[in-house]
Amino acid sequence: MSKVLVTGSADGLGRIAAQQLVAGGHEVYLHARDRRRAEDALNATPRAAGALVGDLASVGRTRALAESANATGRFDAVIHNAGVGYRGPRVETGDGLEHVFAINVLAPYLLTALMTPPDRLVYLTSGMHRGGDPNTSDLQWRRRRWNGGQAYSDSKLFDVVLAFAVARRWPGVLSNAVEPGWVATKMGGPGAPDDLALGADTQVWLATSDDPDATVSGRCFYHRRPTSAHRAASDPEVQNRLIDACEELTGVAFPEG
């Protein structure tokens, strides 16, 4: 049995992953941005061990979430599933940060840096990451004209960059990215053609399986199979630039392995 935290598990892929984990006999902690959604998450997955609350749009509340998670004891795996899409204008968080980058990239960075390192880390990406731009000079979209689709693609590329950076810096931790496919979540829409259960299944498999194909690090997966990632994700210079930017924006240094 593994102890697993699934961020963004009030609905969508996160909820399905949590339910699959519970069905497999694992100790599962859910996560939602507020108490009402945490109650909804527990009602949907009643055999979960608990639900942690933290708004990932806030640096302070994400730090508090990391503290709450650590207070429960060390996790065997953390699935960074939470994220936002791209169908909207540029919005700044209360910290003055562009919200897609803040939620999709800075939040998993903070949780990774502040939580006791687990044995396994899983980061949710998207096939759209292949259209992402690895340039870190304007992460907040202050000099460029806003393009929500590009901002999302960039954030999903940076999730793979983060996964691969952790794999390189922490050789004792299995760190991978998952591309779930175009699935029928709120983001993907009801007409999405990919299998929703399979998108969650790969997260669960990487978080808990002893299958030799799952006990690897620094890979990107689609439906339990390795898939190619944007070549920038494997570039140590790109990884270091992203980590440096996240450290500067949050004031939290990335721990040495």
What proportions of the chain, in percent to the nearest 5, are helix, strand and coil? Answer: 45, 15, 45
* β-strands 220-222, 225-226 pairing: antiparallel
CA within 13 Å, CB half, 80: 34
- Give the span between the Cα atoms of 237 and 29, in whole angstroms: 34
CA within 13 Å, CB half, 58: 12
Active site residues: 152, 156
For residue 120, what are its two tokens? 């396994």
Specify whether the CB–CB gap between 108 and 161 falls below 8 A: no
| C-alpha distances out from residue 80 to 13, 143, 161, 174, Å | 11, 29, 14, 14
Specify whether the CB–CB gap between 119 and 174 falls below 8 A: yes
For residue 133, what are its two tokens? 């731009």
